[in-house]
């Protein structure tokens, strides 16, 4: 038995292990999964001197309350998160994007994400987890990945099989920017919708519904009218696809999405905006803005350069 | 052949093979799918064949639409090895414990239970694609007189192993999931097994499937 471990005092709402996810499996019905907000996932690992593809604990809204036992280890939380670290005789208010050293008996209490959805807890070391298809990412729908594909639960013990020898404390000044518009590329069934429907899609505001999770984000607002057919022959989906079923309310496919779908696709979220899209909590307003493929490619390149810059400064 | 290639967002290619659903178009899709999968083009990270489309996802950090499109356009799909397809027999128990929608089907199809089962069992099915949930096979084609729409209100939980029908297709729920297809029976076989990483799916696109009826006793003793 490992002598370095975490104990879950309170699991939080949707707490899972995530890493870079798994690829080459769409054709059998398995999506990428992986950390929803990839940039915050990478930063969390870098702050605790991990390999960038290490597993972290992802939480949504309310996070876990964890007790640590073992030798000294670094931890860091990324996102927009309210948390505290309880030491023997003191409790400190935690700051995101800074690493902390914790020791035997210390507790991390992640109270909630702030006007956002996902946060990440990285520990400077390696969790002892089962891998399936080169990833420990938990897909709770198909019960794939570590922890038998299930969310973390109260009372559970999670072992670490390695602790990093590099215990340098790191810090970065990253601020999660919110964006007003989510940029989208025209979908393959764009012409299924009425002129009025297309106008509504690009000009009106939509609200993120409570019925959103790692599989998809449902939107509410003005209805988008279909004039051709509310069903298509089922075909592949990718993350970011915006489907509009018969009720006229768009659904955006997220990282754990079903791999095949039969609703018309009005648009696809540009890759550059995916990390920020997933952080929009229920009740947030979304407006879509059309961009073309070549702008989307350029914007993603810039976003990726910015991510690499951020990481290299840590 | 691919009729048209367009982009699905900025990280996927949308290859359109036509609008009809039939074995010959789907075989083309599968041929391209297998050829591209074998060649392992740098940057392509996922392929989704369906009835008449092939979606090719790529890592935008490594490649882009133009490169992947150019690559796909110049592929000789004839080069691929023979489609390595299997013929499978799937046991199915249609006891009333399992055939939750038999009454509904009798009403919609205006056929007796016996006739529905006879039609369903005396038929060879072709696997067009797998997915939606892990390993779920989309099998076709049911005869014209066997086609029913999906339930108006989908079930919140369809039991694992359920064999179900909608329109010209049959499928198998590989694990408990929400779903709206008409349930006719249940198979004791594990159609998806995530512990077999190299071959998690029992049924793969291009395979042929026949259903063989088993009794409730045979069902219960199946895994012993």
Nearest to A29 among B14, B131, B197 (CB): B131
Q: What is the pLDDT of residues A30-46, one digit of tens each?
A: 999 999 999 999 999 99
Q: What is the pLDDT of residues B33-87, one digit of tens each?
A: 999 998 889 999 999 999 999 999 999 999 999 999 999 999 988 645 555 689 9
The whole-angstrom separation of Cα A73 and Cα A187 is 47
The whole-angstrom separation of Cα A300 and Cα B61 is 8
Nearest C-alpha neighbor of A278 from the set A236, A215, A222: A215
Nearest to A270 among B10, B136, B194 (CB): B10
How close A293 gets to chain B, by Cα (Å)?
Answer: 6
User: Is the Cβ pair A236, B134 closer than 8 Å?
Assistant: no
Q: What is the pLDDT of residue A2?
A: 65
CB atoms within 10 A of CB A229: 11
Q: What is the mean pLDDT of chain A?
A: 96
The whole-angstrom separation of Cα A213 and Cα A209 is 10
What residues of B are in contact with residue A32 (Cβ under 8 Å)? 46
The whole-angstrom separation of Cα B183 and Cα B120 is 12
Q: What is the pLDDT of residue A230?
A: 86
Taking the Cβ of residue A293 and every Cβ of chain B, the question of whether any pair is shorter than 8 Å is answered with yes
Q: How far is CA A120 from CA A11, A165, A214, B104, in A?
A: 14, 22, 14, 48
Q: What is the pLDDT of residue A1?
A: 53
Distance of CA B163 to the CA centre of its chain: 12
Taking the Cβ of residue B166 and every Cβ of chain A, the question of whether any pair is shorter than 8 Å is answered with no
Q: What is the pLDDT of residue A175?
A: 85
Please compute the mean of the pLDDT values over residues A100-124 and round it to a whole number: 97
Q: What is the pLDDT of residue A120?
A: 98
CATH pick for B87-220 out of 3.40.50.970, 2.40.100.10, 2.60.120.10, 3.40.50.1000:
2.40.100.10
How close B75 gets to chain A, by Cα (Å)?
Answer: 19
Q: What is the pLDDT of residue B119?
A: 97
Q: What is the pLDDT of residue B169?
A: 95
Taking the Cβ of residue B136 and every Cβ of chain A, the question of whether any pair is shorter than 8 Å is answered with yes
- What value of ipTM does the predicted structure carry? 0.95
Taking the Cβ of residue B137 and every Cβ of chain A, the question of whether any pair is shorter than 8 Å is answered with no
Q: What is the 3-state secondary structure (H, E, C) of A160-183?
A: EEEECCCCCCCECCCCCCCCCEEE
Confidence label for A223 from pLDDT (cuts 50, 70 and 90): very high
CATH class of this structure's domain B4-79: alpha beta
Confidence label for A200 from pLDDT (cuts 50, 70 and 90): very high
DSSP-derived secondary structure letter, B218: H
Confidence label for A249 from pLDDT (cuts 50, 70 and 90): very high
Chain B interface, best mutation among A28, A241, A261, A292, by max B CB count within 10 A: A28
Chain B residue whose CA is closest to A307: B61
Taking the Cβ of residue B12 and every Cβ of chain A, the question of whether any pair is shorter than 8 Å is answered with yes
Cross-sheet strand order for the sheet of B125-130? B87-92, B208-213, B125-130, B137-140, B169-172, B162-166, B182-186
Q: What is the pLDDT of residue B83?
A: 58
Q: What is the pLDDT of residue B81?
A: 55
- The domains spanning B4-79 and B87-220 adopt the same CATH topology: no
Q: Residues 79-108, chain B: which have Cβ within 8 Å of A? A: none
Copy the structure tokens of residue B171: 């499928």
Q: What is the DSSP string of A101-167?
A: EE-TT-EEEEEEESSSSEEEEEESEEE----BTTB---BTTTTBSSGGG----TT-EEEEEEE-S--
Q: Tell the residue number behind the tokens 């996932």, with chain if given.
A: A41
DSSP-derived secondary structure letter, B197: S
Worst-scoring range by mean pLDDT, A106-110, A247-251, B184-188? Answer: A247-251
Q: Tell the residue number behind the tokens 């039991």, with chain if given.
A: B159
Q: Tell the residue number behind the tokens 């799916």, with chain if given.
A: B201
Taking the Cβ of residue A146 and every Cβ of chain B, the question of whether any pair is shorter than 8 Å is answered with no
H helical segments located in chain B = 23-39, 65-73, 102-109, 113-121, 216-220
What residues of A are in contact with residue B5 (Cβ under 8 Å)? none
Q: What are the backbone angles phi and psi of residue A45, rounded to the nearest 5°?
A: -65, -40
Q: Residues 244-263, chain A: which have Cβ within 8 Å of B? A: 258-261
Nearest C-alpha neighbor of A60 from the set A172, A173, A138: A138
Q: What is the pLDDT of residue B153?
A: 81
How close B46 gets to chain A, by Cα (Å)?
Answer: 4
Residues in chain A: 314
Copy the structure tokens of residue B185: 């029976």
| Ranges of each domain in chain A | 5-163, 181-312
Chain A residue whose CA is closest to B20: A233
User: Is the Cβ pair B197, A261 closer than 8 Å?
Assistant: no
The whole-angstrom separation of Cα A212 and Cα A282 is 8
| Ranges of each domain in chain B | 4-79, 87-220
Percentage of chain A with pLDDT > 70? Answer: 99
Q: What are the backbone angles phi and psi of residue B22, rounded to the nearest 5°?
A: -155, 170
User: Is the Cβ pair B51, A235 closer than 8 Å?
Assistant: yes
User: Is the Cβ pair A132, B60 closer than 8 Å?
Assistant: no
User: Is the Cβ pair B138, A300 closer than 8 Å?
Assistant: no
Taking the Cβ of residue A242 and every Cβ of chain B, the question of whether any pair is shorter than 8 Å is answered with no
How close B137 gets to chain A, by Cα (Å)?
Answer: 9
CA distance between the termini of chain B: 47
DSSP-derived secondary structure letter, B83: P
Homologous superfamily of A181-312? Cyclophilin-like (2.40.100.10)
Is residue A24 scored above 90 in pLDDT? yes
CA distance between the termini of chain A: 33
Q: What is the DSSP string of chain A?
A: --S-EEEEEE--SS-EEE-S---S-GGGT----S-SSHHHHHHHHHHTT--TT--EEEEESS--EEEEESS-EEEEEESSEEEEEEETTEEEE--TTBEEEE-TT-EEEEEEESSSSEEEEEESEEE----BTTB---BTTTTBSSGGG----TT-EEEEEEE-S-----B----PPP-SEEEEEE-TTGGGB-HHHHHHHHHS-EEE-SS--SSEEEEESSPPPBSS-S----EE--TTEEE--TTS--EEE-TT--SEE-S-EEEEE-GGGHHHHHTPPTT-EEEEEE--HHHHHHHHHHHHHHHHHHHHT-
Q: What is the pLDDT of residues A49-104, one digit of tens each?
A: 999 999 999 999 999 999 999 999 999 999 999 999 999 999 999 999 999 999 99
The whole-angstrom separation of Cα A275 and Cα A294 is 20
Contacts 24+ apart (CB under 8 A), A85-89: A85/A109
The whole-angstrom separation of Cα A137 and Cα A147 is 9
Q: Which helix (H) or strand (E) holds B56?
A: strand B53-58
Is residue B151 scored above 90 in pLDDT? no
Taking the Cβ of residue A130 and every Cβ of chain B, the question of whether any pair is shorter than 8 Å is answered with no
What residues of B are in contact with residue A30 (Cβ under 8 Å)? 134
Residues in chain B: 224
Taking the Cβ of residue A88 and every Cβ of chain B, the question of whether any pair is shorter than 8 Å is answered with no
Please compute the mean of the pLDDT values over residues B104-114 and round it to a whole number: 97
Q: Is the peptide bond before A36 cis (omega within 30 degrees of 0)?
A: no
């Amino acid at each position: 038995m490992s002598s370095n471990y975490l104990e879950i005092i309170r699991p939080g709402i949707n707490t899972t292990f995530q890493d870079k996810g798994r690829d080459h499996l769409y054709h059998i019905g398995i999506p990428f999964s992986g950390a929803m907000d990839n940039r915050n996932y990478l930063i969390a690992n870098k702050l605790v001197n991990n390999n960038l593809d290490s597993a972290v604990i992802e939480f949504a809204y309310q996070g876990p309350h964890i007790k640590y036992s073992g030798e000294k280890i670094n931890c860091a939380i990324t996102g927009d998160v309210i948390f505290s670290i309880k030491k023997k005789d003191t409790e400190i208010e935690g700051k995101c994007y800074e690493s902390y050293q914790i020791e035997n008996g210390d507790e991390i209490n992640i109270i909630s994400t702030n006007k956002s959805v996902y946060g990440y807890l990285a520990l400077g070391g390696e969790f002892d987890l089962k891998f399936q298809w080169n990833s420990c990412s938990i897909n709770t729908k198909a019960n794939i990945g570590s922890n038998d594909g299930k969310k973390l639960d109260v009372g559970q013990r999670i072992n670490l099989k390695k602790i990093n020898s590099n215990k340098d404390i790191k810090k970065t000044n990253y601020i999660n920017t919110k964006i007003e518009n989510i940029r989208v590329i025209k979908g393959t069934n764009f012409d299924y919708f009425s002129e009025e429907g297309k106008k509504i899609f690009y000009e009106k505001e939509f609200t993120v519904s409570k019925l959103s999770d790692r599989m998809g984000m449902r939107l509410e607002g003005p209805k988008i009218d279909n004039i051709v057919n509310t069903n298509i022959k089922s075909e592949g989906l990718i993350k970011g696809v915006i489907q509009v079923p018969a009720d006229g309310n768009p659904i955006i496919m997220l990282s754990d999405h079903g791999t095949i779908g039969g609703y018309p696709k009005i648009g696809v979220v540009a890759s550059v905006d995916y990390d920020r899209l997933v952080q929009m909590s229920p009740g947030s307003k979304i407006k879509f803005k059309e961009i073309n493929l070549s702008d989307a490619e350029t914007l993603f390149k810039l976003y990726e350069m910015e991510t690499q810059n951020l990481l290299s400064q840590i | 052949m691919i009729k048209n290639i367009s982009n699905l967002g900025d990280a996927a290619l949308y290859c359109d093979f036509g609008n009809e659903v039939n074995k010959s178009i789907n075989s083309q899709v599968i041929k391209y799918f297998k050829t591209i999968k074998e060649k392992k083009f740098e940057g392509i990270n996922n392929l989704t064949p369906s009835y008449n489309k092939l979606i090719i996802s790529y890592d935008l950090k490594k490649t882009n639409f133009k490169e992947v499109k150019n690559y796909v356009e110049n592929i000789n799909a004839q080069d691929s090895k023979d489609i390595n397809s299997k013929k499978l027999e799937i046991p199915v128990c249609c006891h009333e414990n399992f055939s939750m929608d038999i009454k509904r089907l009798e009403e919609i199809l205006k056929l007796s239970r016996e006739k529905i089962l006879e039609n369903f069992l005396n038929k060879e099915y072709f696997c067009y694609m797998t997915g939606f949930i892990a390993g779920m096979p989309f099998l076709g084609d049911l005869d014209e007189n066997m086609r029913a729409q999906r339930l108006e209100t989908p079930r919140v939980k369809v039991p694992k192993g359920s064999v179900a029908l909608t329109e010209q297709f049959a499928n198998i729920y590989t694990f408990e999931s929400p779903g709206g297809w008409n349930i006719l029976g249940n198979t004791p076989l594990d159609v998806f097994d995530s512990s077999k990483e190299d071959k998690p799916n029992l049924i793969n696109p291009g395979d042929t499937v026949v259903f063989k009826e088993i009794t409730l006793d045979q069902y219960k003793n199946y895994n012993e």
